[in-house]
Amino acid sequence: MSLENKILLLGATGRVGRQVLEQLLVKGNHVKAIVRSKDSEFLKPFLAMPNLLLIEEKNLSSLKVEDFSKYIEDVETVICTLGHAKWNSQPKSLVLDATRLIHLSVEHLKPSTPKKLIMLGTSGILNPESDRNMGLGEKILISSITYCVPQLQDSKDCVDYISKTITKENQHLQWTIVRPTGFLEQYEDGITEYKTLEKTVYPFYNNGVVRIKNIANFFVELAEKSELFETWKGKMPIIADADQKLYN
């Protein structure tokens, strides 16, 4: 099994994760998916697929770097679509903990070829670089909402960790954080046209929506196409359906 088409997926049973899983498998990629339970209803359609390896870990946050490194050493790309299913679900730092574990494990391995990390974020979280010119009032509003919403706080902490700890000059790990606008659970249309932007549009109003299948498709494209990943490496692209009128 070659390295370049082998992917580690975290969050395979979530709304975005299971769409990413399906599209990766259908396109012939070899996927290792770490899940809390192999008995999840969402996994049943994929159990017979020969290019899927399921790894059961009840508590990802409790894994040691040495143990998690074994899951990463033979993959080129790590996709993380972890999120919080409930308002106050535990652990509150799920995404941050996973990000730190991925980073430390890669640094432990010190691969000769950099690993790629593709993270799921949200347009409600600012990019410390491209969104720095946003007005003070908007920044205060976003900070206030983030502080009150545990899921957003976890995502912000993850972004802060990546931007401060995993520099663009890192020789072992390269990253991009995909920031969808509002999720649209409309699956019957399949994959439709969508657009990506470098800067945040208004995060909490006039924000637009994006089909979950389109989010998943962008993840798969980033994993498969080196030139596309190179375009967004070290950046935090906004993704929205093409028909959405966004203020940029």
Domains and CATH numbers, the chain: 3-241 (3.40.50.720)
C-alpha neighbours within 13 Å on the C-beta side of residue 217: 16
Torsion sign over Cα 92, 81, 156, 95:
positive
Model pLDDT, residue 87: 46
Q: Which residue has the higher pLDDT, 94 or 200?
A: 94
Give tens-digit pLDDT for 60-80: 888 999 999 999 999 999 999
Model pLDDT, residue 95: 92
Distance CA 137, CA 72 (A): 42
Percent of the chain with pLDDT over 70: 79
- The DSSP annotation for 133-163 comes to TS-HHHHHHHHHHHHH-HHHHHHHHHHHHHH
How deeply is 96 buried, as exposed, middle or buried, from its count of CB atoms within 10 A (0-12, 13-18, 19+)?
buried
Six-digit token string for 40:
């999840």
Distance CA 241, CA 214 (A): 8
Extended strands (E) in the chain = 6-10, 30-35, 52-56, 77-80, 115-120, 173-180, 182-184, 194-197, 209-211, 238-241
Mean pLDDT of the chain: 85
What does the pLDDT average to over 220-241?
95
Q: What radius of gyration, in Å, describes the C-alpha atoms of the chain?
A: 17
Rounded (10°) CA dihedral 190, 117, 35, 154? -100
Give tens-digit pLDDT for 123-161: 777 655 655 555 555 555 555 555 555 566 777 888 889
Give tens-digit pLDDT for 163-192: 899 988 899 999 999 999 888 887 778 899
Residue 7 has pLDDT above 70, yes or no: yes
Distance CA 36, CA 52 (A): 16
pLDDT band at 110; cut points 50, 70, 90: very high
Residue 57 has pLDDT above 70, yes or no: yes
Model pLDDT, residue 2: 45
